[in-house]
Structure formats: structure tokens, C-alpha cells
Structure 1
Amino acid sequence: MGIRLVKISVIYFAIGVCLGLYMSISHSFTLTPVHVHMNLLGWTALTLAGILYHLFPQTASTKLAKTHFWLHNIGLPLMMGGLAFVVNGKTALIPVTAAGGTIVTISVLIFTMNMLLHLKEAQVDTNKNQTLG
């Protein structure tokens, strides 16, 4: 799960950076909110989640982790696609943006719940000097 999240986060990063380059070349910064959210919720948040899932595999093997992954990666493209149109005056897509944002928020709350429920301090067996997890 951790590796999957890091891999998909670099896709979001590439999209966000390309969008930033496009805005710089065209001198049109209308899509700045899309650029920022793509990099924050796509690249940064998913990279950090991926690292946490990789470091703490007990959190990655849960149904909550799978739900987090799928909801985040369904909601974020919906939110970003809708937002791209909304900032260009297509207000009819506000519900798409809101639905995507709601799905991403739910995914983050599920991630939070997963971490709080399944992330435990490692127990060390002093006789064998190894982590029991």
C-alpha cells in the first residue's frame, strides 16, 4: 500500500508541476488553486501517507487503508477537474468540485482513524532484542 501511494503521488506531482509550468509560460494563473491542491493533496499528502504505510505495515493491511487509497484517488481527480472548470467560470460544476472535496475529506478522516486505531508503539523483547510490533 505504501509503495502504491508513493507511486501515484509522483503522478500527481508531475501533473502539478506541468500545470505550474503551463501557467508560468502562459502568464495565466487562473488554475493556481488546482496546481496548489494537486501538489498538496496529491503529491505531499499521499507521499506522507505512503511513507507511513510503508514504515508501519500493520496500518497498510487494513480495510481502512484500502478505502483511504481508493476514496482519495477517486475524489481528488473529481475535485481537481471540477475546480479547473469552476475557476474558469463554469459554475455548473461546483457540485462536482464539492463532491470530490467531500470524498477526499472522508478519505483523510478514514486515514486518521486507521492511524489512530492501528498504529501502535513497537514492543521490544529485551531477550531477543527484536521488535515484536
Structure 2
Amino acid sequence: MGPWWIRIAALYLIFGISVGIFMSSTLALNWASAHAHVNLAGWATTGLIGVIYSVFPNAGNNRLGKIHFWLHQIGLPLFLLSTFLVQVPNMLETAHLLTFTGAGLFGLGLILFLINLFVNVREADAVTKN
């Protein structure tokens, strides 16, 4: 599963940089929070999880890893959408619904990730290249 996480993270990187370029060119700095969330939760967090699951493939390919993958891939886009919608007039209620739904799924996935790390990540299982 690790390579899938890394590929998806790269998509968040392109999107996050595009938002940054848009903000810079238009001086629409009110999008800064959404931009930061895309880069940190989308690019950095997703990419780091991908690296961890690539080094420890047994953790990424077990049931916890797969459930984590889907909770993350459904919850994070909903949450990130909410960070943009809070800036749109008359969308605050929708944004809050997406915040709680998306962040709830994303957060539950991160709890499963933590459990997975403690249960299934062992030094002896690491993929190493000599």
C-alpha cells in the first residue's frame, strides 16, 4: 500500500502548490489556512505514511492498514474541502458538516494507524536494501 500513499501525496503536493501560486498571484491570502492544510495533511502526512508503509509493508497490507487507507482517502478530501468552503459566503453550515465528517474519518484512520504501528511495526520486518 505504501506506493499508493506516496502517489496520492504527490497529487496533494501539486494541488497545494497550485493553491499557493494562486494566492501569490491574486493576493487572495484568505486561503492560507486551506493551503497549509493541503500541504501538511495532504502532502506531508500522506507521504510520510506512505514511506512508513513502504518500509514496513506488512503494516500497510494488513486489515488495519487497508481500513486506515480508506478512512484517510475519504475523510481527508472532505476535511480539506471544508477548509476552502469556510471562506465561501453562505457555505459555513456545509463546511462545518464536512469538517466534522471528514476530520472524524481522518482522525479515526490516524488512530488505527497508531494502533497498527504499535501492533505490526517491528524492526525485523523492515524492508532494507543492502
The TM-score normalised by the length of structure 2 is: 0.89
Larger Rg: 1
Q: Helix, strand or coil: the match of 1:122?
A: helix
The structural deviation recorded for 1:61 is 1.5
Residue identity matched to 1:113: I
Residue identity matched to 1:79: F
Residues 2 and 53, structure 1, Cα contact 8 Å, conserved in 2:
yes
Tell me which of 105, 108, 130 is aligned to 1:106. Answer: 108
For the pair 1:28 / 2:28, whether they are aligned, the reply is yes
For the pair 1:81 / 2:81, whether they are aligned, the reply is yes
Residue identity matched to 1:36: A
Residues 30 and 88, structure 1, Cα contact 8 Å, conserved in 2:
no
Alignment RMSD (CA, Å): 1.5
Please list every run of 5 or more consecutive structure 2 residues that lacks an aligned counterpart in the other structure: none
The structural deviation recorded for 1:7 is 0.3
* Structure 2 counterparts to residues 1-133 of structure 1, below 5 A: 1-89=1-89, 90-93=91-94, 94-122=96-124
Higher mean alpha-carbon deviation, 74-83 vs 12-21, is at 74-83
* Structure with larger RCO (C-alpha < 8 A, sep 6+): 2
The TM-score normalised by the length of structure 1 is: 0.87
Give the Cα–Cα distance (whole angstroms) in 2 for the partners of residues 58 and 66 of structure 1. Answer: 11
Higher mean alpha-carbon deviation, 80-89 vs 14-23, is at 80-89
Match of residue 126 from structure 1: none
Match of residue 127 from structure 1: none
Aligned length: 124
Higher mean alpha-carbon deviation, 114-123 vs 18-27, is at 114-123
Q: For residues 16-73 of structure 1, what are the alpha-carbon distances to aligned partners after superposition, in whole Å with 9 as ceiling and x for unaligned?
A: 1100110111101111111111111111011111111111111112111111111111
* Percent sequence identity over aligned pairs: 31
Q: For residues 89-126 of structure 1, what are the alpha-carbon distances to aligned partners after superposition, in whole Å with 9 as ceiling and x for unaligned?
A: 42111111221111111111111111110011318xxx
